[in-house]
């Protein structure tokens, strides 16, 4: 919770790694190096005219943060008053950035540069060392090595190192660049690259360039070798050629940019010839496109221009419906049923929020492709009156044009305006809000072939919406067994009235029946969007209780509520289950809660009961124990009733006709300081089959890490055998460590399957 600072988790492994890393103990000296005096201690000193001074015998020079020990030092003052220092014999240099050892060196007192022959170096305060035939330290920032080497392994560990004709450490950018780089594991050269660059520290995006190896039963071996290119301070790109054994060679490119109009990412993945896909295309069972190349294009942009103007895009397009099933990508997952292409230009200030946008989708089931609707364009206008007065006048208006690739689908233009007057009063123990809204909508529905038997060409729908919403907070301090705790009891009651309007002559493009958790009981509408506004004469009541500890941190809360329908909620659209049900009275119940048992243990849960199907509609629960980033265990259960899924209009074809009763266990546990096991197992109790599971082992030493993971998951549905199709995947991952504060490799492993790890804790 928020009162503890989140202590940086320095694992005991990191402490061992940093055991013999040089540390700069003296207080940092600020100031320009030119003005700092040079103190020299020596056994003997000889100064002879006109300008040479020779120090001999355990010479120690200190200037500002730098100190040099050597056997002999000569300082010559040149005509231009610059002084060149020649150092020889068992040299030992230390400053707050790097330590150097060598035999022969020269130093310029005014420019702070040092040049040292066949030397060893070690970064100060972190891992990073190597040697060089010739090393130069410039302006306390760049370390340039000729025929040098670099590794982040501790002093006594030579697991890997990278040699290069030129190695440059930039200690401000925290970046290492190596030309003609030879990557060696132990003595064995493994990889050559004309240029290598990676971060040393946390400033730079990780452009880690170490190949990753995967094997899965469908694609075979999969090798990716990323190349990071830092084009400009505000533009960098990563190119990742990926060899997929049974498919072909794919090139994944990603470019990140930063401009005055905002920042964003472009990504293009291109697989010219996919042999496995070409085989799939000949199989009528498999739903593929008629394309040969397989590509993905993604563009994401977020721009806020002087706080009022907003430019946002978030679009992904792929070459065919099976793209994410066959190929992995950061911009979509195999579980996606569709992807979105969204563009938005907005202006907002205190009173107005205007946004012009367009949305389109690419649906991954050819049978459903045609009933997809796009909004091209959509204009949303929100007006907020002065927020201070208790009577507010807000308005929402929208103009949108719906088009669809389905040739039989009408093209619809919808104009909507909803002025709201609201009166709100609150004090420390209560809140009351009453508002009245007028919902006025006009439809112009252009049905192909002018077949207006069902839909109507011009439709107007005007309906008021009244709301009375009140809550009170009761509180008590003396709770048995929990001294110092405070408990609140927060009853809430909300009445809503919306008259019935027959909307059966209106095409439903953007409305779907909403699932109501506890908060949903008090929602204004039962449907999303505007095409279906259900009549309402209902009373929602609920009770929330919270327990605060003696630091007033919320440790536990539990809510229970219901909605009482005085009469039937209808829209006139008989295809919707809402209309098909005649019941009134208290139909929907919902409860949810959380309990933060202690810093490492938390529970969350929720349940929704719907009398219209007379069963529990939805239920879920999660218990998580978490001691650290890689010591955690989470047990979860999710239930969704088949009739309920049917009721909210999801069931369209066979694979969905099922209850969901999914038990999941996900854990990561350190076996030793360096070895930990990561695993997950999700099992559907109704179908009695596992849906997604993996097991993985992770070995981390100071400067490298290796993980192996084996997983099995559902990838498709075999209509003929009416069974789920599985794919199993074995993945090896080699990684350099010790460069930046080590990335949470456990998190990456926990995202291996279809169902990634999502922590139930508040702070991540």
Partner 1 sequence: NTNAVTPTVRNQPITIDADHQEFSIQNNTITFTGNVVILQEGLKVTADKVVISNTQSQTDQKITAFGKPVRFQQSLEGNRSINGHSQQLDYDVRTATVTLTGKAELTQQDNQISSNKIIYKVNEQQIIAEGNSNNRVKTTIVPNQLN
Partner 2 sequence: CGFHLSSTAEIPEQFKTLTFYSADPYGQLAREVKTALRDNGVTITEDHLNQNIPSLRLTGDNMSKNTISIYQDGKAAEYQLILTVDAQIVIAGDDIHPITVKIFKTFFDNPAAALAKDTEQGMITREMYQQAAEQLVRKLKSVDVAEQKQNP
| Contact positions with partner 1 (CB under 8 A) in 71-90 | 75, 81, 83
* Region 676-705 residues binding partner 2, contact defined as CB under 8 A: 684, 687, 691-692
Residue 428 is a binding residue for partner 2 (CB under 8 A): yes
- Measure the CA–CA gap between 365 and 288, rounded to whole angstroms: 9
- Residue 57 backbone class (left: φ over 0; alpha: ψ -120 to 50; beta: rest): left
Partner whose binding site includes residue 388, from partner 2, partner 1, none (CB under 5 to 8 Å by kind): partner 2
What backbone phi and psi angles, to 5 degrees, belong to 235? -150, 120
Residue 366 is a binding residue for partner 2 (CB under 8 A): no
Q: Please, what is the minimum distance in Å from the beta carbon of residue 209 to partner 1?
A: 42
Which DSSP string corresponds to 217-235? TTTEEEEE--EEEEEETTE
Q: Using CB under 8 A as the criterion, what x/- string covers residues 507-546 for binding partner 2?
A: -xxxxx-xx-x-x---x----xx-----------------
Closest C-alpha to 403, from 427, 372, 382: 372
* Region 1-60 residues binding partner 2, contact defined as CB under 8 A: 1-3, 5
Write down how long the chain is: 764
Partner whose binding site includes residue 333, from partner 1, partner 2, none (CB under 5 to 8 Å by kind): partner 2
Q: Which of 215, 257, 270, 717 binds partner 2 (CB under 8 A)?
A: 717
Closest C-alpha to 543, from 587, 592, 614, 495: 592
**Residues 430/424, Cβ–Cβ less than 8 Å:** no
Q: In this chain, which stretch among 42-50, 275-283, 440-448, 670-678 interacts with partner 1, using CB under 8 A?
A: 42-50
| Closest to partner 2 by CB, 152 or 662 | 662
Residue 554: Cβ within 10 Å count: 15
Q: Which residues contact 112 (CB under 8 A, 6 or more apart)?
A: 33, 66, 138, 139, 140
* Region 478-507 residues binding partner 2, contact defined as CB under 8 A: 478, 486, 488-489
Q: Please, what is the minimum distance in Å from the beta carbon of residue 14 to partner 2?
A: 23
| Closest to partner 1 by CB, 32 or 763 | 32
- Measure the CA–CA gap between 10 and 741, rounded to whole angstroms: 9
- Measure the CA–CA gap between 557 and 546, rounded to whole angstroms: 4
Q: Please, what is the minimum distance in Å from the beta carbon of residue 319 to partner 2?
A: 18
Q: In this chain, which stretch among 40-48, 549-557, 575-583, 695-703 interacts with partner 1, using CB under 8 A?
A: 40-48
Partner whose binding site includes residue 81, from partner 2, partner 1, none (CB under 5 to 8 Å by kind): partner 1
Residue 48 is a binding residue for partner 1 (CB under 8 A): yes
Residue 39 is a binding residue for partner 1 (CB under 8 A): yes
Residue 650 is a binding residue for partner 2 (CB under 8 A): yes
Q: Which of 14, 21, 55, 164 binds partner 1 (CB under 8 A)?
A: 55
3-class DSSP state of 604? strand
Q: Which of 36, 84, 251, 543 binds partner 1 (CB under 8 A)?
A: 36
| Closest to partner 1 by CB, 29 or 47 | 47
* Region 565-604 residues binding partner 2, contact defined as CB under 8 A: 604
**Residues 634/757, Cβ–Cβ less than 8 Å:** yes
Partner whose binding site includes residue 598, from partner 1, partner 2, none (CB under 5 to 8 Å by kind): none
**Residues 443/414, Cβ–Cβ less than 8 Å:** yes
Partner whose binding site includes residue 38, from partner 1, partner 2, none (CB under 5 to 8 Å by kind): partner 1
**Residues 727/334, Cβ–Cβ less than 8 Å:** no
Residue 46 is a binding residue for partner 1 (CB under 8 A): yes
Residue 720 is a binding residue for partner 2 (CB under 8 A): no
Q: Please, what is the minimum distance in Å from the beta carbon of residue 684 to partner 2?
A: 8
595-622: b or e for each residue (b if 16 or more CB lie within 10 Å)?
A: ebeeeeebbbbbbbbbbbbeeebbbbbb
**Residues 39/62, Cβ–Cβ less than 8 Å:** yes
- Measure the CA–CA gap between 103 and 115, rounded to whole angstroms: 11
Q: Where are the alpha helices (DSSP H) in 327-416?
A: 366-369
* Region 370-409 residues binding partner 2, contact defined as CB under 8 A: 371-375, 384, 387-388, 402
- Measure the CA–CA gap between 238 and 262, rounded to whole angstroms: 20
| Closest to partner 1 by CB, 113 or 147 | 113
Q: Which helix (H) or strand (E) holds 749?
A: helix 745-750
- Measure the CA–CA gap between 298 and 252, rounded to whole angstroms: 11
Q: Please, what is the minimum distance in Å from the beta carbon of residue 124 to partner 1?
A: 24
| Closest to partner 2 by CB, 86 or 486 | 486
Which DSSP string corresponds to 475-535? EES--TT-TT-EEEEEEEEEEEEE-----TTS--SS--BPP--HHHHT-S-SBSSSS----
Q: Using CB under 8 A as the criterion, what x/- string covers residues 268-307 for binding partner 2?
A: ------------------------------------x--x
Q: In this chain, which stretch among 26-34, 446-454, 648-656, 733-741 interacts with partner 2, using CB under 8 A?
A: 648-656
Q: Please, what is the minimum distance in Å from the beta carbon of residue 478 to partner 2?
A: 6
* Region 330-349 residues binding partner 2, contact defined as CB under 8 A: 333-338, 340, 348-349
Q: Is the peptide bond before 139 cis (omega within 30 degrees of 0)?
A: no
3-class DSSP state of 763? coil
Residue 361 is a binding residue for partner 2 (CB under 8 A): yes
Residue 38 is a binding residue for partner 1 (CB under 8 A): yes
Q: Please, what is the minimum distance in Å from the beta carbon of residue 105 to partner 1?
A: 18
Q: Which helix (H) or strand (E) holds 644?
A: helix 642-647
**Residues 179/195, Cβ–Cβ less than 8 Å:** yes
| Closest to partner 2 by CB, 141 or 205 | 205
Name the residues that contact partner 1, by CB under 8 A: 34-50, 53, 55, 58, 75, 81, 83, 109-110
């Amino acid at each position: 919770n928020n009162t503890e600072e989140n202590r940086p988790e320095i694992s005991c492994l990191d402490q061992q790694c940093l055991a013999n890393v040089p540390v700069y103990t003296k207080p940092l000296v600020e100031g320009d190096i030119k003005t700092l005096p040079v103190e020299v201690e020596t056994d003997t000193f000889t100064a002879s005219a006109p300008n040479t001074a020779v120090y001999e015998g355990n010479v120690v020079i200190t200037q500002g943060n730098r100190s040099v020990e050597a056997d002999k030092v000569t300082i010559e003052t040149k005509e231009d008053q610059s002084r060149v220092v020649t150092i020889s014999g068992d040299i030992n240099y230390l400053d707050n950035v790097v330590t150097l050892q060598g035999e022969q060196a020269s130093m310029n007192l005014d420019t702070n540069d040092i040049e040292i022959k066949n030397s060893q170096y070690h970064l100060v305060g972190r891992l990073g060392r190597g040697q060089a035939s010739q090393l130069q330290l410039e302006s306390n920032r760049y370390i340039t090595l000729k025929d040098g080497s670099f590794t982040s392994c501790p002093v006594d560990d030579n697991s890997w190192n990278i040699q290069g004709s030129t190695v440059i450490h930039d200690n401000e950018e925290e970046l290492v660049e190596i030309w003609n780089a030879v990557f060696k594991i132990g003595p064995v050269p493994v990889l050559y690259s004309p240029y290598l660059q990676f971060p040393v520290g946390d400033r730079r995006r990780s452009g880690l360039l170490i190949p990753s190896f995967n094997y899965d039963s469908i694609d075979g071996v999969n090798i990716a070798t990323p190349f990071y290119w830092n084009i400009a301070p505000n533009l960098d790109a990563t190119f990742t050629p990926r060899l997929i054994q049974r498919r072909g060679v794919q090139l994944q490119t990603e470019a990140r940019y930063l401009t005055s109009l905002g920042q964003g990412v472009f990504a293009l993945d291109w697989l010219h010839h996919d042999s496995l896909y070409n085989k799939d295309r000949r199989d009528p069972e498999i739903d593929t496109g008629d394309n040969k190349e397989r590509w993905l294009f993604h563009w994401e942009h977020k721009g806020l221009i002087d706080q009022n103007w907003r430019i946002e895009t978030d679009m992904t397009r792929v070459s065919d419906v099976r793209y994410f099933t066959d190929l992995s990508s950061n911009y979509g997952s195999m579980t996606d049923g569709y992807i979105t292409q969204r563009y938005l230009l907005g202006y907002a200030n205190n009173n107005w929020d205007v946004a012009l946008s367009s949305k389109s989708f690419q649906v991954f089931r050819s049978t459903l492709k045609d009933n997809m609707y796009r909004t091209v364009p959509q204009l949303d206008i929100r007006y907020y009156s002065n927020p201070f007065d208790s009577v507010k006048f807000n308005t929402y208006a929208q103009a949108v044009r719906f088009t669809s690739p389905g040739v039989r689908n009408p093209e619809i233009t919808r104009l909507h305006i909803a002025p709201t007057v609201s009166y709100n009063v609150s004090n420390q123990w209560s809140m009351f809000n009453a508002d009245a809204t007028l919902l006025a909508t006009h439809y112009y529905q252009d049905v192909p072939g002018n077949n207006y038997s069902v839909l109507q060409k011009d439709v107007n729908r005007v309906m008021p919406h009244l709301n009375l919403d009140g809550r009170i907070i009761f509180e008590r301090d003396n709770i048995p067994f929990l001294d110092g705790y405070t408990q609140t009891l927060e009853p809430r009651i909300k009445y809503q009235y919306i008259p019935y309007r027959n909307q059966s002559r209106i095409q439903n493009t953007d409305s779907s029946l909403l699932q109501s958790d506890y908060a949903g009981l008090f929602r204004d509408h039962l449907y999303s969007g505007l095409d279906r506004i259900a009549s309402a004469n209902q009373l929602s009541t609920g009770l929330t209780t919270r327990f605060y500890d003696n630091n007033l941190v919320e440790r536990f809360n539990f809510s229970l509520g219901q909605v009482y329908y005085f009469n039937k909620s209808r829209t006139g659209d008989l295809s919707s289950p809402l209309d098909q049900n005649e019941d009134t009275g208290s139909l929907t119940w919902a409860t949810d809660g959380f309990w933060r048992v202690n810093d490492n243990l938390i529970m969350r849960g929720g349940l929704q009961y719907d009398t219209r199907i007379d069963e529990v509609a939805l239920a879920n629960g999660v218990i998580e124990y978490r001691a650290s980033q890689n010591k955690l265990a989470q047990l979860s259960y999710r239930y969704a009733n088949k009739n309920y899924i049917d009721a909210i209009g999801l069931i369209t074809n066979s694979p969905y006709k099922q209850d969901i009763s999914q038990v999941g266990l996900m854990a990561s546990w350190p076996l030793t300081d360096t070895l930990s096991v990561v695993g997950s197992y999700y099992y559907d109790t109704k179908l009695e089959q596992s849906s997604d599971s993996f097991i993985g082992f992770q070995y981390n030493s100071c400067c490298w890490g290796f993980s192996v993971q084996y997983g099995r998951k559902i990838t498709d549905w075999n209509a003929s055998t009416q069974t789920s199709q599985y794919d199993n995947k074995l993945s090896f991952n080699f990684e350099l460590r010790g460069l930046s504060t080590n990335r949470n490799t456990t998190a990456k492993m926990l995202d291996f399957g279809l169902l990634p790890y999502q922590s139930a804790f508040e702070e991540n």
